[in-house]
Structure 1
Amino acid sequence: MNGHATDSLLAWLRQSGEHSHAKALSALMEDHAALTLTKNAAEAANEAKTRFLASVSHEIRSPLNAIYGYAQLLERGDGTNAVESAKVIRRSAEHLSNLVEGLLDIAQVESGSLRLARDTIRLPAFLEQLIDMFQPQAAMKGLALRLEAPASLPEFVRTDPKRLRQVLINLLANAIKFTDRGEVTLIVHYRNELATFEVVDSGVGIAPADIARILLPFERGGSASADRAGIGLGLAITQALVHIMGGDLRVESKPCEGSRFIVRLMLSQPLSPPTDMPDAKPTRLYLGRERRVLLIDDDPAHREALRGLLEPRGFRVLSAEGGEQGLAIAGEAQPDLVLLDVSMPGISGWEVAKLLRARHGPRLRIVMLSGEAAQSGPVDDAPPAHDMFVAKPFDFNVLLDVISTQLGLEWPQTQPRDGAGAAPPGANLPPLLAAEARPHLAEIVRLVRIGHVRAIESRIDAIAALGGQAATLAESMRVHLDRFDLKSLAALARTEDPDDR
Structure 2
Amino acid sequence: MSVSAHPGGATGAPRRKFNKLVSNPVFEDYSLRYAPKSFRTWSQYAVFSAALGGIAYLADQAIGGSLAVQFGFANAFWGIIAAAVIIFLTGIPIAYYCAKYNVDVDLLTRRAGFGYLGSTITSVIYASFTFIFFALEGSIMAQAFKLYFGIPLPVGYALGSLIIIPLVAFGMTLLSKLQVWTQPIWLLLLFSPPVAVLIADPHAVANWVSFKGASTSGAGFNPLLFGSAAGIAASLIAQIGEQADYLRFMPDKTKKSSFGWWLAVLGAGPGWVILGAAKQLMGSFFASVAVSHGTTLAEANEPIQMYHAGFTYIFGAGFAALSVATFFVILSQIKINVTNAYSGSLSWSNFFSRLLHVHPGRVVYIFFNVGISLTMMELNMFSILGHILGFYSNVAVAWIGAVVADLVINKPILKLSPSYVEFKRAHLYNFNPVGFGSMAIASVIAVLAFFHVFGEYAAAYSAFIALGVSFILSPIIAIATKGKYYIARDTNYHAGVKHDAMTCVSCGYEYEALDMTGCPFHKGNICSLCCSLDAECHDQCKQPHANPVLYFGTPADLSR
Higher relative contact order (CA 8 A, sep 6+): 2
Relative to the length of structure 1, the TM-score reads 0.26
Larger strand proportion, structure 1 or 2?
A: 1
Larger helix proportion, structure 1 or 2?
A: 2
Relative to the length of structure 2, the TM-score reads 0.24
Larger radius of gyration between Structure 1 and Structure 2: 1
